[in-house]
């Protein structure tokens, strides 16, 4: 595949460079695209990297380092830029974990996914991506990512992204203290971190309607004890007693999850053991919520930052969604 001779961006060789990322980000801000060859290169490189990662990545924060945990970004590229402005650009000492739902709903999902993937390629050991319930084919078909890939690039680009999504890790354990996953806990109290470690995520590419992968991507906390039916129609809800037992059994301090809007950008529930972080402020241009991220240093204390949405070009959320769903936010 050749790059059009008229392409006026920085060229990409066999290795990702900071120069390329910064030029790509400026192009995206200006409403431009990158060469299709580079899109393929980025996705293939990241697919190769994440395939080699375990289903649960384990990361310890070393002295002089910090990790910033972000929740759903949902195609809100200009708000992603605000996260990097406030928290600092990714580097060898500024680690990041994006906890799923990079795409769909917001109309800059390809830009968000390519930016995150480019940083993953540049900093494979300090930049991490967990899979969310929107890194799946049926969600992408319904909520805009597939249509956006087709409109901006090609059907093949979507298929490649889909393949890469199914290779993403499902969880990250930070400092043996914080279990970070997109949705939440399980229908069975006997599930342990070891079960997550052993889960073969390559066996089923899509999460389906039951099983550990589905529960990790889809469940939500509830205030009452025990477990209850999900308001989403898939997954379940888990109470503070479920969270307490899981944390004690696995000797961790808390779970950090995303998957739900929080008006203040984050919420601490279940006696401090269940933390929700959501990083798409003014979600779908209609919710009025703040976004948030969590910084964790070598002392493993959680530092929360809330932020507001920033202006973006006048393109509506769900602009690429199927079946006129953009009218049904």
Domain for residue 13, yes or no?
no
What confidence category does residue 104 fall into, taking pLDDT thresholds of 50, 70 and 90?
Answer: very high
**Phi, then psi, of 186 in degrees rounded to 5:** -110, 165
Residue 53 included in any domain: yes
The CATH number covering residue 243 comes to 3.60.21.10
Domain region containing 119? 34-328
Domain presence at residue 244: yes
DSSP state of 58: E
Nearest CA-CA partner of 246 in 272, 267, 273: 273
Question: For residue 19, is it within any domain?
Answer: no
Q: What is the pLDDT of residues 20-53, one digit of tens each?
A: 999 999 999 999 999 999 999 999 999 999 999 9
Half-sphere exposure of 118 (CA within 13 A, CB side): 22
Whether 169 maps to a domain, the answer reads yes
Handedness of CA 144, 149, 150, 155 (dihedral sign): negative
Residue 158 is encoded by which pair of tokens?
């979507």
Instruction: Report the pLDDT averaged over residues 320-325.
Output: 71
Min mean pLDDT across 91-95, 131-135, 225-229, 325-329 is at: 325-329
Task: Render pLDDT for 204-254 as a digit per residue (tens, 0 to 9).
Answer: 899 999 999 999 999 999 999 999 999 999 999 999 999 999 999 999 999
The pLDDT of residue 323 is: 62
Q: How many residues does the chain have?
A: 329
- For position 200, what pLDDT does the model report? 96
DSSP for residue 289: P
Cα Dmax for the chain: 62
Please indicate, yes or no, if residue 321 is contained in any of the structural domains: yes
Q: Which residues are catalytic?
A: 134
Secondary-structure breakdown of the chain: helix, strand, coil percentages, each rounded to the nearest 5: 35, 20, 45
Q: Where does 214-316 show beta strands of DSSP type E? A: 220-221, 227-229, 236-238, 254-257, 266-269, 274-277, 291-296, 302-307
Count of domains forming the chain: 1
Closest CA relative to residue 253, chosen from 265, 267, 271? 271
Cβ atoms of residues 219 and 235 within 8 Å? yes
The answer to whether position 273 is within a domain reads yes
Q: Specify the range with the lowest mean pLDDT, choosing from 3-17, 61-75, 242-256, 315-329.
A: 315-329
Q: What is the DSSP annotation of 177-237?
A: TEEEESS---S-TT--HHHHHH--TTS-SS--SSSHHHHHHH-EE-SSSSEEE-TTSSSEE
pLDDT at 329 over 90: no
Residue 300 has pLDDT above 90, yes or no: yes
Contacts of 92 (CB under 8 A, 6+ apart): 123, 126
**Angle formed at CA 242 by CA 238 and CA 247, multiple of 5 degrees:** 125
Interaxial angle between packed helices 77-87 and 18-29, expressed in degrees from 0 to 180 and rounded to the nearest 10? 130
Question: What's the pLDDT score for residue 322?
Answer: 76
Residue 234's pLDDT is what?
Answer: 92
**Does residue 71 lie in a domain region?**
yes
pLDDT on residue 63: 97
Alpha-carbon dihedral angle through residues 15, 19, 20, 23, given to the nearest 10 degrees: 180
Please state, rounded to an integer, the average pLDDT across all residues of the chain.
96
């Amino acid at each position: 595949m050749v790059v059009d001779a008229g392409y006026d961006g920085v060229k990409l060789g066999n290795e990702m460079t900071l120069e390329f990322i910064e030029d790509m980000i400026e192009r995206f801000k200006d409403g431009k695209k990158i060469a299709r060859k580079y899109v393929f290169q980025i996705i293939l490189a990241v697919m190769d990297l994440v395939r080699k990662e375990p289903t649960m990545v384990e990361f310890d924060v070393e002295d002089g380092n910090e990790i910033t945990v972000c929740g759903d970004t949902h195609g809100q590229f200009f708000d992603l830029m605000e996260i990097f402005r406030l928290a600092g650009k990714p580097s060898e000492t500024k680690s990041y974990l994006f906890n799923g739902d990079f795409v769909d709903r917001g109309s800059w999902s390809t830009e968000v996914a390519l930016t995150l993937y480019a940083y993953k390629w540049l900093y494979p050991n300090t930049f991490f991506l967990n899979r969310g319930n929107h890194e799946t084919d049926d969600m992408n078909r319904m909520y805009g990512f597939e249509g956006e890939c087709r409109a901006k690039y090609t059907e093949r680009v979507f298929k490649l992204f889909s393949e890469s999504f199914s290779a993403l890790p499902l969880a990250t354990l930070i400092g043996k203290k914080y279990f970070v996953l997109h949705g939440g806990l399980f229908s069975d109290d006997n599930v342990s971190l070891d079960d997550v470690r052993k889960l073969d995520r390559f066996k089923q590419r899509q999460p389906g309607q039951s099983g550990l992968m589905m529960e990790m991507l889809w469940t939500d906390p509830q205030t009452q004890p025990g477990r209850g039916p999900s308001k989403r129609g898939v997954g379940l809800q888990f109470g503070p007693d479920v969270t307490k037992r899981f944390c004690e059994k696995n000797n961790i301090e808390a779970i950090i999850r995303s998957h739900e809007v929080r008006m203040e950008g984050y919420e601490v529930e279940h006696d401090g053991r269940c933390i929700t972080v959501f990083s798409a402020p003014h979600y779908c241009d209609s919710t009025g919520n703040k976004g948030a991220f969590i910084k964790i240093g070598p002392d493993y204390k959680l530092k929360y930052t809330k932020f507001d949405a920033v202006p973006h070009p006048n393109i509506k959320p769900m602009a690429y969604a199927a079946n006129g769903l953009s009218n049904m936010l």
